[in-house]
Structure 1
Amino acid sequence: MSETETKTPVTVLTGFLGAGKTTLLNHILSAEHGRKYAVLVNEFGELGVDGDLVIDADEEVFETNNGCICCTVRGDLIRILGSLLRRRNRFDGIIVETTGLADPAPVAQTFFVDENLRAKSRLDAVVTVVDACNVMQTLEESHEAVNQIAFADVIVLNKVDLVDEQTLDAIEARLRQINASVQIHRTTRSNVSMSDILDRGGFDLKRALETMPDFLENTAHSHEEGVTSMSFSVDRPLDEARFQAWIGAILQEQGPDILRSKGILDFAGQQERFAFQAVHMMADGDYIGPWKENEARVSRIVFIGRNLNRPQLRRGFESCLAA
């Protein structure tokens, strides 16, 4: 088995208040998929009730209610996940359900910075549940809701039975203005196929390319203010040192505005693909195996964030071309 296959997959389940996260969690726990999950439920407030709302199942449910996972209880997240991973032979994966007010970025960053979590687990995907009835207004009013969309690998567009087709098309267009490459699944009562949300490999670009070969190829972008998604590609090899210097400077200068970036790169003199990704200023990357036979060796990179300067990013990326 590969190193990736031996690591415990972790799914982060997020979404704004009332979107249907707990309904989706119950759906996961009751579905016939033959897998066992440990569940970490985070709730904002002194009195926790989400743990009581999760169906009675064999899965282990842990609750943190002394603050939001994305701020005061990150230490709790590391501690509980570390404890679970010492018993990882008892389950197949871990699901972290965040409070509806959580910014997913610090949760994702946890898997970049904690060595124990990096060694024993892999962040599989951020799954965001969206309330079709209220999302347009929520996106206007809530910075957190926009971030939840921006960080999503998969969006469960819920309550679609309560709005018409034209409205749903407008909602999807708005979501893709924020996150062009996200996978969107329309649902009623969060009833979605398990294969659409689990084992997606959204934070494992090698696996993501195997299941979604075109997931970095969407070049849609928006000139609206707020969070936008931009992608660039070049069909000539890149100079690795130039790229590392450029991306390092970009993330250092604009990291707070760049919510997430990811790419598959062809470096001159290398026969393997290089997978790069970052959450704000925290970056990670590694070679993920050779290019497939007859596969075009095209370098692709995606930026999702605020105040992105498209011409500047394109010029910078193209300046990394090998001589």
Structure 2
Amino acid sequence: MKLSKKINVYIISGFLGSGKTTLLNHLLKQFNEEKNVVIENEFGKINIDATLINGAFENVFELTNGCICCSINNQLLETLSRIVSLENQPDNLFIETTGIADAGEIAAHFTSLFIAKAFDLKKIITVVDAENLLFYKDSNVEVEKQIVAADCVVINKSTLVKTEIIENIKDFIQSINPYTTIVLSENGLLDRMDLATENSPKTFISDAIYKSKSIHKIKTLMYETEALFDIQNLKYELFRNLYLYYHQIYRIKGYVLNSKKEVFLVQTTGKTVEINPVENQKMTKSQLVFIGKELELKSIERLLKSSIIKKKKFQSV
């Protein structure tokens, strides 16, 4: 199929819970007069973030249970081929990576001759969490790799920390990538005009994408149950355990059902817990994804046990 023009590509990376999906939604609203497609990659078996995407887009292509920078390269290439074959060619492709992806290796795909003919990589955007970046950076090599690859680093949640911390974050970013553009953001806001700036030249080694192996030490576990939850107890237990084990549990996200079988969205980042009701989301069971280090299913079951409504208690309500 002969293309009249190349498809613009924007790669959105960032560590777990930094705010990538929120930023993507803001960008989609700004590109609402153009045809957009999204590739959403999730490290676990289910893709919670794909259900949170809203805005102007034609299709969402989901790549799950692997990271496109290491274990599912072929799926990415197949998906790019499918996009090129679409009858109505999109103007823009937005790729939201997993929280542990190496954006540089993903970008290397777009230097391949046959992909470069159809796609034009415009920007690698890395989102960092102002509240947690300085803690995660030393224990997770992925954080540094994502910043090194970035054309634009968005310091998200910047109003939640002191100016001194923001300056320390800027110094860290510039020490490993002095040529990137740094943007302060609140709630994932990024002006489309920030994507129009010229990028500094980069060198990607294309062969690396075919040789790379997963080096991620981060583990993903999914907890699934037909049981119903006491939402207040769940919030308390998650907050208590994250306060104690924040260095081990990086991210929790998913959907749970309460005693009335209403759906609630659960999201945690660092020590922050958010549980909010969701409309127009049909679920037959609760599904929570836990992402962190040295996670065990038995420990997760113990963590959630006191929040589950026992059948006898539920029947008497």
What TM-score results when the alignment is normalised by the length of structure 1?
0.60
Aligned to 2:189: 191
Gaps of 5+ in 1: 203-214, 216-261, 263-276, 284-323
Aligned to 2:85: 86
Identity %: 34
Gaps of 5+ in 2: 209-317
Counterparts of 2:31 and 2:43, CA distance in 1 = 31
Paired residues for 1:258-273 under 5 Å: 262=201
Aligned to 1:66: 65
Q: Does the 8 Å CA contact 1:112/1:282 hold for their aligned counterparts?
A: no
Cα distance, 1:201 vs. partner? 5.1
Q: Does the 8 Å CA contact 1:133/1:159 hold for their aligned counterparts?
A: yes
Q: Which amino acid aligns with 2:100?
A: L
Counterparts of 1:33 and 1:48, CA distance in 2 = 24
Aligned to 1:101: 100
Q: Which amino acid aligns with 1:72?
A: S
Paired residues for 1:102-251 under 5 Å: 102-113=101-112, 115-197=113-195, 199-200=196-197, 202=199
Counterparts of 1:167 and 1:104, CA distance in 2 = 25
Counterparts of 2:206 and 2:80, CA distance in 1 = 23
Comparing 135-144 and 79-88, the one that deviates more:
79-88
Paired residues for 1:228-307 under 5 Å: 262=201, 277-280=202-205
Q: Does the 8 Å CA contact 1:37/1:91 hold for their aligned counterparts?
A: yes
Q: Which amino acid aligns with 1:104?
A: A
**In 2 relative to 1, CA 85–51 (structure 1 residues): closer, same or farther, beyond 3 Å?**
same
Cα distance, 1:6 vs. partner? 2.7
Higher relative contact order (CA 8 A, sep 6+): 2
Q: Secondary structure at the match of 1:117?
A: helix
What TM-score results when the alignment is normalised by the length of structure 2?
0.61
Q: Which amino acid aligns with 2:63?
A: T
Counterparts of 1:176 and 1:56, CA distance in 2 = 32
Work out whether 1:40 is the aligned partner of 2:56: no
Work out whether 1:31 is the aligned partner of 2:30: yes
Moved over 6 A (4+): none
Q: Secondary structure at the match of 1:90?
A: coil
Counterparts of 1:17 and 1:127, CA distance in 2 = 15
Q: Secondary structure at the match of 1:47?
A: coil
Q: Does the 8 Å CA contact 1:8/1:92 hold for their aligned counterparts?
A: yes
Counterparts of 1:125 and 1:279, CA distance in 2 = 14
Q: Which amino acid aligns with 1:137?
A: F
Cα distance, 1:56 vs. partner? 6.1
Q: Secondary structure at the match of 2:34?
A: coil
Cα distance, 1:158 vs. partner? 0.3
Cα distance, 1:54 vs. partner? 1.0
**In 2 relative to 1, CA 37–58 (structure 1 residues): closer, same or farther, beyond 3 Å?**
closer
Counterparts of 1:32 and 1:7, CA distance in 2 = 16
**In 2 relative to 1, CA 282–26 (structure 1 residues): closer, same or farther, beyond 3 Å?**
same
**In 2 relative to 1, CA 88–141 (structure 1 residues): closer, same or farther, beyond 3 Å?**
farther
* Number of corresponding residues: 206
Q: Which amino acid aligns with 1:155?
A: V
Counterparts of 1:93 and 1:178, CA distance in 2 = 29
Cα distance, 1:116 vs. partner? 2.4
1:16-69 Cα shifts (integer Å, max 9, x gaps): 000000000111122365222100000001122111111264431111103111
Counterparts of 2:111 and 2:39, CA distance in 1 = 19
